[in-house]
Amino acid sequence: MDGNFDGQNPAKPHFVVVPLMAQGHMIPMADLALLLAGRGARVSLITTPVNAVRLRAAADLAAASGLSLRLVELPLPCAAAGLPDGCENVDLIPKPDLFHPFFRSLNLLADPLKSYLRAQPPAPTCIISDQCMPWTMEVAGELGIRRLVFHGPSCFFLLCTLNLTKHNLYEKVADDLESFFVPELPQRIEWCVDDFRRKVGKEVWPVGPVSLFHKDAGGKAVRGNGISGVDGGGGGVGGVLTWLEGREKESVLFVSFGSLARTRIKQLIEIGWGLEAAGTCFVWAVKEAEQSEEVDTWLSKFEQRSGGRGLIIKGWVPQVLILAAPAVGGFMTHCGWNSTLEAVTAGVPMVTWPHFADQFLNSKLVVEVLGIGVGVGVNLPSFYQAAEGAAMVGRDEVERAVVSVMDGGEEGEEMRRRAKELGKKARMAMEKGGSSYESLTRLIDDAMALPLAQ
Ligand code: UDP
């Protein structure tokens, strides 16, 4: 897919963007690729055939806007890696014991990537590869191409983990549940970026929220998955929006836990009862992988009981579009960093329900530092799929947290005010002259001036 790719023009920098194939990584890196192309750079966005289908919308958007972005499909030999055919994305891994084979299989992209890079005259300016793609370091070294690392999570999370490693905290705690203070955190968290830059001893370019590349509804609607759209009860993307248009301003809670975390039926039921008791309007995204006959039966009875107060959407939802709807007044989120930033950008307060990885620290940042959310009360991680057995969060906790954000009381309104203020700052950061806009300008200039990789 070539669009307007201006392959031979040496006057323009050429970035080769290599995302990990997981929605929480591919989506922001595709946005970054669009942002770079929007600044006049040529961009090769590297992916595999199955993921190319999801990224096609980004490539089409670039082509329609006259941007120089090329989608490059490299073959991933799944069978050779012991994976089922087409298992090319973290959300397509059918069972936990295939995680390791999947991550090992990524190394098999090195040779096809080298062939692609060698065929580019002149040599690309710089590779920007995901932190989870360490094999790209050897590729860049062998071909003498500069390489920058894309970190999806926040500098706050990166700084905390750096400090934990430095102080050997992982060795010192007795078990997973022991709480401890993160050493060497600055008093004022807003200095995190500088502190991280100083501690890591490298340049850092904060360039987000990258979702703000998308100015119109069309781009927002197809972001991350141009093909599946919304059905099941919603009547297409338009159906959800029409439903939201009929609701009062800031009266709807949006419930969604990102692209990977899966909720088991017992937990789904507790969420349902909690929403019902809270009495709020809601849009609730239930993943395809969470569906079963039992789930469907329970949800359809629940939908009938809620009498039009809520909408359950099955499958992929246009999250950024939903968050931007004036009717949406709260977001129950797993606190993936993209989702967190997207809520901040929309000025929407959160009910935080972290599941794994950086999500617990993101939740702390939202609740304790920024004061734009309420925790639902999760203390234990549930990686990818919560363990069988009892629900981790009961209906009463769900109700309590939802009510405190959505009931129009002082606590919730204060959070909303702060969330809106932050949203304004986030949008300003991406405007010409804003901090992220200027950071991206520096990144492009610096990438052209860096010494070549060895
Ligand atoms: N997302 C979406 N629709 C969905 C689920 C997820 O648009 O139905 C997007 C969401 O807007 C975000 C990304 O997928 O950009 C998820 O990334 P995040 O870091 O929030 O969580 P992860 O999926 O990596 O756990």
In one-letter notation, the amino acid at residue 220 is: K
Determine the distance separating the centroid of ligand 1 and the alpha carbon of 11, expressed in angstroms.
36
Mutate to test the pocket of ligand 1, among 259, 337, 342, 365 (most ligand atoms within 8 A of CB): 259
Most ligand 1 atoms within 8 A of CB, residue of 31, 223, 338 to mutate: 338
Residue range 6-30, pLDDT digits in tens: 666 767 899 999 999 999 999 999 9
**pTM for the predicted model, two decimal places:** 0.93
Q: How confident is the model at residue 236 (pLDDT cuts 50, 70, 90)?
A: low
* Mean pLDDT, rounded, for 143-151: 97
| pLDDT (average), residues 228-240 | 56
What's the 130 CA to ligand 1 centre distance in angstroms? 16
User: In the prediction, which pLDDT does 233 show?
Assistant: 40
Rounded-to-integer distance, Cα 297 and Cα 295, Å? 6
The CA 23 to ligand 1 mean position distance, Å, reads 6
Which residue, by CA, sits nearest to atom 17 of ligand 1?
24
Looking from the CA of residue 223, the nearest atom of ligand 1 is 7
Q: What is the pLDDT of residue 232?
A: 38
User: In the 3-class helix/strand/coil scheme, how is the chain assigned residue by residue?
Assistant: CCCCCCCCCCCCCEEEEECCCCHHHHHHHHHHHHHHHHCCCEEEEEECHHHHHHHHHHHHHHHHCCCCEEEEECCCCCHHHCCCCCCCCHHHCCCHHHHHHHHHHHHHHHHHHHHHHHCCCCCCCEEEEECCCCHHHHHHHHHCCEEEEECCCCHHHHHHHHHHHHCCHHHHCCCCCCCCCCCCCCCCHHHHHHHHHHHHCCCCCCCCCHHHHCCCHHHHHHCCCCCCCCECCCCHHHHHHHHHHCCCCCCEEEEECCCCCECCHHHHHHHHHHHHHHCCEEEEEECHHHCCHHHHHHHHHHHHHCCCCEEEEECCCCHHHHHHCCCEEEEEECCCHHHHHHHHHHCCCEEECCCCCCHHHHHHHHHHHCCCEEECCCCCCCCCECCCCCCCCCHHHHHHHHHHHHCCCHHHHHHHHHHHHHHHHHHHHHCCCCHHHHHHHHHHHHHHHCCCCC
Residues 101, 16: Cα–Cα separation, whole Å: 25
Q: Which residues line ligand 1 (CB under 6 A)?
A: 23-24, 27, 224, 256, 258-261, 285, 316-317, 319-320, 336-339, 342
CA of 152 to the centre of ligand 1 (A): 12
Span 424-446, pLDDT tens digits: 999 999 999 999 999 999 999 99
ipTM computed for the complex: 0.99
| Per-residue pLDDT at 33 | 98
Atom of ligand 1 nearest to the CA of 319: 7
- Determine the average pLDDT of the residues in 311-324: 94
| pLDDT (mean) for 77-90 | 95
What's the 168 CA to ligand 1 centre distance in angstroms? 32
Ligand 1 atom nearest the C-alpha of 28 is: 15
- With 60 as the cut, is the pLDDT of residue 51 above it? yes
CA 297 to ligand 1 centroid distance, Å:
26
For ligand 1, atom 11, the nearest C-alpha belongs to: 319
pLDDT at 226 over 70: no
Position 414 scores a pLDDT of 97
Q: Is the pLDDT of residue 413 over 90?
A: yes
Q: How far is the CA of 259 from the centre of ligand 1 (A)?
A: 5
Residue 85 exposed, middle or buried by CB count within 10 Å (0-12, 13-18, 19+): exposed
Q: Give per-residue burial for 386-406: e unless 16+ CB within 10 Å, then b.
A: beeeebbbbbebbbbbbbbbb
